[in-house]
Amino acid sequence: MDVLDVAADAIATGPVCDSCLGRLVADRSFGLTNAERGRSMRTALALARDDPFETPDPADCWVCEGRCTEFDEWAERAVAAVEGIEFDTYNVGTRPPPLIEENGRLLREECGLDPDAGEKFKSEFNREVGKRVGRLTETEVSFDRPHVQFTIDLDEDRIDAKVNSAFVYGRYRKLERDIPQTEWPCRECHGSGRSGREPCDHCGGTGYLYEDSVEEFVAPVVEDVMDGTESVFHGAGREDVDARMLGTGRPFVVEVEEPRRRRVDVDRLQEDVNAFADGAVEVEGLRLATHEMVERVKRLDASKRYRALVEFDDEVAPDALRAAADELEGATIEQYTPNRVDHRRANLTREREVYDVAIVDEKADVETFDDEAIPAFDPDDPHHAIVEIHGEGGLYIKELVSSDEGRTEPSLAGLLDVDARVIHLDVLSVEGEDEPFEDESYFLDSDE
């Protein structure tokens, strides 16, 4: 391909602006804009032919119909569309009129070029407007989920700015029982609070079975600080409503939609959340995270360590209890979907491993377990025991103790041949089995 021949053929088709001319050879001479390439081609051709140098009015270009004169205008419109919104990364996309794309194809055909030669109008428009947006806002372009995605529709003369979500990671401790992780709509009125014209008797007209939730203590505060429109709470699994989450806490991510603020002080945010929760829930280790952390938190297999106060219907000798615990330790447990969750879980048999089982036999060791459990626990009481269990993610602990009418095998009750049940349950730790949740690649630096 001779560049001067391409220039001559292109110019012969009618008024062609420098950008559309240079776009034909966009793969030549890295570091130039298409407009610079086009002007150089036009200049070299005039010199080679000893012709007067003439440049058509860019607005008269039959290829782009003058659109290549609008880069600055669209960049300014993009900046105006996100006024008052904090962002560090962006991207620009363009929907060009079909006629402009067809004109570009015809120009390449007239010049004897391959249909894919050079660069398409859309790519140049994205880049040139994007460069100007970056200069005006002192932000950086990103092709991997930018904070803001601009979409320019040239036919409709419209620009849309999609503000992508921001993410805050942390761990929560649930210090009170009977608090679900997320809002729990009433199953009778489906959250409406009404039964016909009357308030729903099942939920007292609130629409929810529980007044509070971990989500309601945490997500609204994060949403408010980031000035978002909505928030979504993503947890790494969930504990039972009547179980506390203690120890190292459970990983979670709050996703804030359309945030106007991203550069938040996470230490102060943590203080605000804990003050709002007022002792019912505590969060720690809050950090700004990437969107990949949501998938990691929701899908990563995690082992859990539990502490359970167990009640037996008959007396259980200490030696028999320890023997049963030893038999469970390291065992592979087969659990058919428990009765208490079969309305929301598929009916199938799951295999889960028990890593460790320990019997707590000193009252001093459980004084932080649960104030309400202390009076019921006596190391010499053959009807009660406190058991610590470390198991694979997805292991149902209550059923591991009770057998759930034989749906879990083996079980503590089955091995002891005594009916047993969990009275109080605490989760002590939730840890990733493959690698720690706190992998630095999932977090943003404080200055990002």
Name the residues annotated as catalytic: 240
Axis-axis angle for helices 214-226, 266-277 (nearest 10) = 140
Q: Residue 400 in contact with residue 333, Cβ under 8 Å?
A: yes
E strands present in 290-383: 302-312, 332-336, 349-360
Separation of alpha carbons 355 and 364, rounded Å: 25
Separation of alpha carbons 235 and 171, rounded Å: 9
Q: Residue 181 in contact with residue 213, Cβ under 8 Å?
A: yes
Beta carbons within 8 Å of 92's beta carbon, 6+ residues apart: 78, 126, 127, 129, 130, 133, 141, 150, 151, 152
Separation of alpha carbons 52 and 43, rounded Å: 10
CB atoms within 10 A of CB 72: 12
CB atoms within 10 A of CB 372: 11
